[in-house]
Structure 1
Amino acid sequence: MLAKLDEDALVRRDVSVPGTLSGETRQVDVLIMGSLSGQDISIAVECKHYKRKLGIGIVDEFAGKLQDLNVERGLLFALNGFTQPAQNRAAGARVPKIVLSSLASYDHTPADLDSLFTGLGDCPHPNCYTGDIGWYVWIATIEDSEPDTLEFGTCDICGTQALRCSECEDIVDFSWSESSCGCETDYSLIEDRKGIDVKEIERRIDGTIVTFNPDFSRGVTYRTRSD
């Protein structure tokens, strides 16, 4: 995938590289170096042929290798999947970002493998392939009903604002103050007087407007793809 998007991308297989922190030689199944939309990117790919699910220790070891090699992103394949703690460990990894994938769930077609690389980030901007959105929960208080929620946040790479539709859960690019989801739900961002921060989000469905306000007390959430 990266080689298709960047003709100068360097793909090396079964490579030994000295660690930048430890100085020890590290073996990597596949190491990819290239550029996407002006962003330098490095990806390490490793495959594990174990009869059992891979545990958290393997993911920890992989994360340490990525840090030692100064590689920002890693893709770890396993023949029989991963334990839940291992998936949680990868989901919480920010630097480096880690994607887990079970070989049992893929048919090994080129299109299938391409989707793994595009799945390294959830930013909806068409030129941002690896950015992740830091999601915050926004709440709307509705009379005689349970509070409604949606998620809104900013990409950690390109700064794009994005919203996760409360109706269909698609991610909507908010490069402008108004946007519509594919499910025909309309959203508007209401900024403060300085035009810097978003203070409210309006959702319009069939003429009904619901206003959401931020609940920053819940903190930011990142989601890393894991299959």
Structure 2
Amino acid sequence: MKAVVIRLFRLFFGLFLYAAGIVLTMQAHIGYAPWEVFHAGLAKVLGLQIGTVSILVGLVIGIAVMLFGEPLGFGTVCNMVVVGLFMNILLGSGLFAELSNPVLGVVQLIAGLFVISLASYFYISSGFGAGPRDSLMVLLSRKTKFFVGTCRGAMEVSVTLVGFLMGGLLGWGTLLSAVLIGFCIQITFKVLHFDPKKVVHEDFVSSYRKLGLFMQAQNINKKV
């Protein structure tokens, strides 16, 4: 059961870092992140809020990667919900002020990308299932045999261009993020000797059963 606790810590710590990384890139104030450009553009086309579009895109990607054999797990669902909650908390806390200096903005943007890369390591390695976008990155790497960083970079550039064509806001920081995120992930994974393709993820049912057994064991220990 100790292993379950460690895995849960890795999952939620990773999701918290992911939210922190996104907030850092947002508060750098030099352009929307690539996926947010896509979400904003699609929101204009569909007449929906960006948050709603983000959830819908996550669901579509999740179903797509599942059809290609990538498991959807407890971590996948948490990624869709918990990251947004952590972002709201961090933005509301005022810990990360919006920068007005473009040079400092670049430094903070790059720092945020490395935080996102480290976050991906933690929550993917938990084995509870990667987030829908990271699952797509791993799937593309598995199918094409390209490095995960290369696949992530290609994804970011693609969604940025499509989002811009749909009317999403584009800044030079957006292009910087799209180009650098793949390198940041590749460097981080290499330093940590981590290959996400080797992680065996549990499906949602298996995780639910294990978490249920863990909670039962905790209740028994309390009674004893």
Higher-strand-fraction structure: 1
What's the TM-score, normalizing by structure 2? 0.24
Query: Larger radius of gyration, structure 1 or 2?
Result: 1
Higher-helix-fraction structure: 2
What's the TM-score, normalizing by structure 1? 0.24
Q: Which structure carries more relative contact order (alpha carbon 8 Å, separation 6+)?
A: 2
